[in-house]
Amino acid sequence: MIILEETKNISSEKKDVPEEKASLKSDKILLISIIGIVLILGIFFSVMYIPKPKINTVDDLNRKNIDGKLGTDEEGYLYKGVYSFVKSADLWFFQLKSPSGKSEYDIPLHFGPRELEDINPKGRLSSLFTNTTEIYITFDPLAPELQYTALAVGELDQSIITAFAKLPIAACDKNETSACSNRPIVTCDNIKDIPVIYFRYNETTEILYIDNCIIVQGNGMEQVRAVDRMLLQWYGVMD
């Protein structure tokens, strides 16, 4: 009877090992994904703007929206009577002209401005964000729900590269995983001459401007919502 129980325990322990390995492997893939999003987009688009893709559906929706011909606010609306937001493929799009005025971009967001009015950024944005060409994107590699951090980082990177012509640099706030072993270790405290955007997991959704550092915090999709709110402030759509 004792032998059988011991055999049972050993068997149970052996089952736990693959589960732990699978969990660690999953976390590692997630970390690499976040860093990869920043690196791949940064390398590919660092020297050029992305011209507005010719998506007739989005263009048509914008024209109908401006002419007041869309059926419901779920399809699109004019924010402040000026900015056209239309929904296509479960994303909100609005059009932005390049600084030269020669090109237009369709900016995709997961949330429209009406869904973001309860988030109020605090502090003041440092002039470093307009005077430098590089921005560190950093996060806690041990935080939960990193899949949402990855989504938020991807949303942010598109605008940093496309609309603001800046190069995002992937970083971590600590060297606790192999995915961060060859990345810069960046926090709001140890870097002062380059802008830092720090994704922080927190139950409270906030955007904090502190000198050269922006803290974007939230849990789950709230991180994405906070990013969209910040971007719409940068674009001048929201205060």
- Residue-wise pLDDT for 162-199, tens only, equals 888 899 999 999 998 888 999 999 999 999 999 999 99
Which H or E run includes 222? Answer: helix 222-234
pTM summary value: 0.77
Residue-level pLDDT at 164: 85
Residue that is written with structure tokens 């900015």 in the block? 83
Residue-level pLDDT at 52: 47
- Please identify every stretch of the chain with a pLDDT value under 70, giving residue numbers as ranges: 1-33, 35-56, 97-103
Residue-level pLDDT at 23: 57
Residue pair 141/33 in contact (Cβ under 8 Å)? The answer is no
Share of the chain above pLDDT 90, in %: 53
Residue-level pLDDT at 4: 40
Residue-level pLDDT at 28: 61
